[in-house]
Structure 1
């Protein structure tokens, strides 16, 4: 598993938050939402935090049109209409044995009459990153 956000990633996120604050009231709200997500991730237990950081980087890298925000105390990512598309639930939130990446009805993942809308996440790997990236790109297509 990774060691969490690199120093470069942390610096880039701080720069982006500052850019958003400089864009006025709407930008300040986005910056505050991003900071709330980063703060929530920072509060997680180490294993959950490492997963959440990788999930955050994967989602924001593959769907930059989604806006980070907290949703029921979880890191989540909303579309332009403000609807949650994808969220991360750490295992510690409800004392589960695994973390969860879930998709809401705004995600374009429909596949016939039944499809997965939630995925258990135990460990990060290149395969997990690839699968999540594919799901996120499909969700916003």
Structure 2
């Protein structure tokens, strides 16, 4: 047909495939831990190790996000989710930190799942760009995390 362009579907990016493989490993590891009395501590160690392995700018933000989320919502359990630090309630992710490096993005993000109760009318933000975690940003994160559980 005249004027019709053909495009090829390339499927998932290398980063997306790597994230899916990470998630499969996380699920297997979590399943092995179900019989371990110390599973929450092990999951948090995994999150902290993931954060420690990030490049400086992402690591600094992830450390601050981790501190704020765990202080603002001690009922959320840290866990890895697709290779990202995440915070879950009863095993289900409520929020997560995605480093800029994860999908070669120009900024990191703090995202909330549909379990987070951030509802505000017919449309509301569920993912926030992060370029720096200042005291003001920490206050906003704490408020969002608190709101997400109400």
TM-score, structure 1 as length reference: 0.80
The match for 1:45 among 43, 50, 55 is 55
Query: How is 1:32-111 mapped onto 2 (pairs within 5 angstroms)?
Result: 32-80=42-90, 82-111=91-120
Change (3 A) 1:27 1:66: farther
Query: How is 1:4-23 mapped onto 2 (pairs within 5 angstroms)?
Result: none
For structure 2, which runs of at least 5 residues remain unmatched after alignment?
1-33
Runs of 4+ displaced beyond 2 Å: 24-27
Deviation per CA, 1:41-90: give whole Å up to 9, x if none: 0110011000000000000000000000000000000002x110000000
* Mean CA deviation greater in 104-113 or 63-72: 104-113
Query: How far off is 1:133 after superposition?
Result: 0.6
The RMSD of aligned alpha carbons is: 1.3
Q: Distance in 2 between matches of 1:40 and 1:134?
A: 25
Q: Distance in 2 between matches of 1:115 and 1:96?
A: 22
TM-score, structure 2 as length reference: 0.75
For structure 1, which runs of at least 5 residues remain unmatched after alignment?
1-23
Q: Secondary structure at the match of 2:65?
A: helix
The match for 1:137 among 109, 126, 146 is 146
Aligned residues: 117
Query: How far off is 1:26 after superposition?
Result: 5.2
Q: Distance in 1 between matches of 2:129 and 2:123?
A: 18
